[in-house]
Structure 1
Amino acid sequence: MSKSEFSKLHIAMFPWVAYGHFIPFLHLSNKLAEKGHQISFLLPKGVQPKLENSNQYPTLIHFFPLLLPHVDGLPPHAESTSVVPLNQQKHLAFSVDQTRDQVESIFKAIKPDIVVYDFWFWIPSLARQLGIRSMLYVVVSSMSIAYNTKMVAKETTPEEATELPPDWPSSAVRFKAEEAPIVLFKAEDFGSGLTFYERIRTTIVESDAVAFRTCYEIEGPYCDYVAKGFGNPVLLTGPCLPETKTPMLDEKWANWLTLKPPEGCSTVEEALPEGFQERVEGRGLAYGGWVPQELLLHHPNIGCFVNHCGYGTMWEFLLSDCQIVLIPEIGDQILNTRLLVNELQIGVEVERGKNRQVSKESLSRAIEFVMDKSNETANMLRANHAKLKQKLSNRDLQEEYINNLIQALQDLVKK
């Protein structure tokens, strides 16, 4: 009998307050609970009801709600990034930082073996005071962490931001010169007197270990790059996507689409051209709420998926049969796109015009290109995607990653 079968852990989870972090943290929690480990999941009080249906092991995974104090600059009752514009998220970070006393009280009461967290730079020191190990769980690509660590310094120029870091694994995965303004975060406070990159650096350097939601088959060289740069043990969880237990879409979604409000608009409907909804009525749907995207991507009527290449979305489409068209907007999405388009060659990136604008013509060209079954390049992309999907869908592969992670956590706790 292996140690993973008889040595059960109590693990606290404390993600950044975005659904793109809540959900992968809960996916990992489900994988660990499946092996019999106990999970205590810290999250804002108002978020808990929205995640309870995704808790596959309610006898082992328990939620601990936090009351986020209001701070100036935040919308009333804001508890996640879904209602907070990017330029105000520093206030949200500061609000959660003010829950340290609540978190300490919870930890003293539940006495976890290890806390898995992200962005909360104060967690490692708090954990050490209480005799708890800490592990940073990164749910964005290892590439973005590896590339951006050189930009922690306060004075990074646009030219420096688009230079390849020393010994970078691939010249195909990089930023373009015209993307420098959106790659750089300004050296300004991102809550509690730290810049965004200072938060990242502190959370990495102070942690006992760093885990990435990825696998060697996709990002191996970049994980090695991070390990070499910081010296922390680097662990991998694999894709960590749940096995679909509901094979059928609700009737409401059996036909399709999802959107998010663009900058400057509070709803999707507000951003749509006048008359758009009337013109597509009966043959399309524009919706700004949450939809079961993973299930949608497996619907036989969907052949192409146009998206921003966010990390969670990336894993979902990698395990689909869709052709992939990418329109990245911010730093990590851009690097994800360059990996998939330039290195793995499974999709295309939409060409941008002046000021990074995407025209309907360039989008149309990209979609028509990947859907053309007579085009050799499009068929090559389809074949590459199919091979990668087959590899990533191997249940034994995910099992191996989770078992190795558990063994590493057990070893970490015993040190």
Structure 2
Amino acid sequence: MASNFQIVMFPWFAVGHMTPFLHFSNKLAEKGYSITFLLPNKAQKQLQHFNLHPHLITFHPLTIPHVDGLPDGAETASDVPISLNHLLVIALDRTRDQVEAIIKAKRPKIVFNDMAHWLPQITRPLGIKTIHYSAVCAAGIAIALVPARSFDKEKPLTEAELAVPPEGYPSNTVVLRSHEARALSFISLPFGEGINFFERITTSMNESDGLAIRTCREIEGTFCDYIAGQYNKKVLLTGPVLPEPTKISLEERWANWLGQFPPHSVVFCSFGSQYILEKDQFQELLLGFELTGLPFFIALKPPNGGGSTVEEAFPEGFEERIKGRGVVWGRWVQQLLILEHPSVGCFVNHCGFGSMWESLMSDCQIVLVPHLGDQILNTRLMADELKVAVEVEREENGWFSKESLCKAIKSAMEKDSEVGNIIRKNHAKSKETLVSPGFMTGYIDKFVQDMQELVMI
């Protein structure tokens, strides 16, 4: 049946969304499903090396219309600051005619999406099912994007209201602090023409025929059940859907540099492809790493207001002081391969959902420095619910000091640290579950069965 089962994937135009959609597409292609993957033209080159089944997964580029206020040629979230994402989503909405033409030509059984709340209006009259696929944690959806979260469009939720979990929320530990609620306030901001983020996502989830989440019951079962009850829909789980192990080796210069240090001694830091620190925050971070006395490898984009290279933003004398034990790199690195290197013992990250799973699958201690709404919710899950990570303490303004960063890293890394031993034990237990034989394939097999049943309804 799979050979006659056409699927269309239409993710939000951000690497952190397109990539998990493509990893998921690879898993479905392994089962023989044919997939048309809609994406911006310039994203094809970025993603093509992740397409493991090009005979079954066909990239279909969309012409992204210009929207006033967007830089010329902007097509993905990597092309714009976060403050302009609300304009990029207008561009996504204006691809509707192109998307409708593709769906009518392909006649798929199912369309997966996460931001195009209008897709069911196209698919329903054609007898095609729509699944809202969330590549963010279930705990985050459950606290921010459910009908129980009362919302008046004319009166945005206050920070105090956002900090209170919605009725029936299944956790006493995944709760927001004031500065975290402030970061979550984006859900009430415009996200498109005449619609805010909350309305866009909840409309998509309400109108879709099914809900799917990139998670597993062992990690987020209670949250998935809560979401299913809120939307009165079955929630299909894909499991973590991690990329296949690569046959590529770690770049020789990094393998050689890391190889000079003892096992599990190096601290690796990366904050993903989109978030860019301000210069003062960037400098405080570097000074915090210097303060630990440990060898470190930091991969971050040059900060705002700090010049075009990371070196231009270094604190005075920093480069000389850390020579031989620290690297700060301003371009892309092979994150998974660095995490697998035996010298790396700690991963300091922003807790984006991809990094969250990568850190869980690693043998590294985990230290979290979230910046944006979903990262904060992922952090609450990792640090408070699962107790597999240490979160860096924040000041009232939401930022951290070099001392608090140093303290968090040391508490995770020092062998006689009580906190470090607790997270090491819990992390090892979680990883043991995730790597157990048949765990990943079991989720995909069950998902395929549920998907087939949904189509038959």
Where on the TM-score scale, by shorter chain, does this alignment land: which range? Answer: over 0.9
Counterpart code for 1:376: E
- 1:100 pairs with 84, 96, 102, which one? 96
> d(CA) in 1 for partners of 2:317 and 2:15?
31
- How far has the Cα of 1:39 moved from its partner? 1.0
> d(CA) in 1 for partners of 2:369 and 2:415?
22
Moved more, 266-275 or 297-306: 266-275
> d(CA) in 2 for partners of 1:246 and 1:45?
27
| Residue aligning to 1:24 | 20
| Residue aligning to 2:434 | 392
1:375 maps onto 2:417 in alignment: yes
Determine if contact 1:8/1:36 at 8 Å carries over to the other structure: no
| Residue aligning to 1:318 | 360
- 1:46 pairs with 18, 42, 50, which one? 42
1:343 maps onto 2:343 in alignment: no
- How far has the Cα of 1:277 moved from its partner? 5.0
Residues 413/262 of structure 1: CA separation in 2 closer, same or farther (3 Å cut): farther
Determine if contact 2:3/2:34 at 8 Å carries over to the other structure: no
Determine if contact 1:371/1:378 at 8 Å carries over to the other structure: yes
| Residue aligning to 2:72 | 76
Determine if contact 2:37/2:57 at 8 Å carries over to the other structure: yes
Count of residues in correspondence between the two structures: 411
| Residue aligning to 1:139 | 135
Counterpart code for 2:452: Q
Identity %: 50
Q: Secondary structure at the match of 1:297?
A: helix
1:357 maps onto 2:399 in alignment: yes
| Residue aligning to 2:268 | none
> d(CA) in 1 for partners of 2:211 and 2:80?
28
Moved more, 246-255 or 159-168: 246-255
Structure 2: runs of 5 or more not aligned: 259-296
Residues 101/331 of structure 1: CA separation in 2 closer, same or farther (3 Å cut): same
Alignment TM-score, normalising by the size of structure 2: 0.85
| Residue aligning to 1:302 | 344
Q: Secondary structure at the match of 1:346?
A: coil
> d(CA) in 2 for partners of 1:49 and 1:390?
35
Counterpart code for 1:318: L
- How far has the Cα of 1:7 moved from its partner? 6.7
1:222 maps onto 2:223 in alignment: yes
> d(CA) in 2 for partners of 1:290 and 1:151?
41
> d(CA) in 1 for partners of 2:362 and 2:187?
37
* Structure 1 residues 252-331: aligned runs within 5 Å: 252-254=253-255, 255=258, 257-262=298-303, 267=308, 269=310, 271-273=313-315, 276=318, 280=322, 283-331=325-373
Q: Secondary structure at the match of 1:144?
A: helix
> d(CA) in 2 for partners of 1:29 and 1:267?
36
Determine if contact 2:300/2:331 at 8 Å carries over to the other structure: yes
Moved more, 288-297 or 117-126: 288-297
* Structure 1 residues 224-239: aligned runs within 5 Å: 224-239=225-240
Determine if contact 2:179/2:396 at 8 Å carries over to the other structure: no
> d(CA) in 2 for partners of 1:410 and 1:288?
45
Moved more, 256-265 or 290-299: 256-265
> d(CA) in 2 for partners of 1:365 and 1:376?
13
Moved more, 40-49 or 324-333: 324-333
- How far has the Cα of 1:93 moved from its partner? 0.3
- How far has the Cα of 1:286 moved from its partner? 2.5
| Residue aligning to 2:244 | 243
- 2:10 pairs with 14, 20, 24, which one? 14
Determine if contact 2:3/2:32 at 8 Å carries over to the other structure: no
- How far has the Cα of 1:130 moved from its partner? 2.8
Residues 114/18 of structure 1: CA separation in 2 closer, same or farther (3 Å cut): same
1:179 maps onto 2:180 in alignment: yes
Q: Secondary structure at the match of 1:222?
A: helix
Residues 272/77 of structure 1: CA separation in 2 closer, same or farther (3 Å cut): farther
- 1:113 pairs with 99, 109, 112, which one? 109
- How far has the Cα of 1:185 moved from its partner? 1.9
Residues 271/21 of structure 1: CA separation in 2 closer, same or farther (3 Å cut): farther
Counterpart code for 1:36: G
* 1:38-78: CA deviation from partner (whole Å, max 9, x where unpaired): 11100000010111111111111110001101111111111
| Residue aligning to 1:190 | 191
| Residue aligning to 2:144 | 148
Structure 1: runs of 5 or more not aligned: none
- How far has the Cα of 1:83 moved from its partner? 2.0
Residues 39/58 of structure 1: CA separation in 2 closer, same or farther (3 Å cut): same
> d(CA) in 2 for partners of 1:111 and 1:267?
47
Q: Secondary structure at the match of 2:326?
A: coil
> d(CA) in 2 for partners of 1:285 and 1:129?
56
- How far has the Cα of 1:382 moved from its partner? 0.7
* 1:138-179: CA deviation from partner (whole Å, max 9, x where unpaired): 001111111113164332122111112212111110101343
Q: Secondary structure at the match of 2:366?
A: strand
* 1:349-399: CA deviation from partner (whole Å, max 9, x where unpaired): 111224122111111111111111122331121111111111111241111
* 1:58-114: CA deviation from partner (whole Å, max 9, x where unpaired): 111110001101111111111111121111111100011111111112112222111
Counterpart code for 1:288: G
Residues 396/87 of structure 1: CA separation in 2 closer, same or farther (3 Å cut): same
Counterpart code for 2:300: L
> d(CA) in 2 for partners of 1:248 and 1:388?
27
* 1:257-299: CA deviation from partner (whole Å, max 9, x where unpaired): 4213555668562644356556555543333333221221111
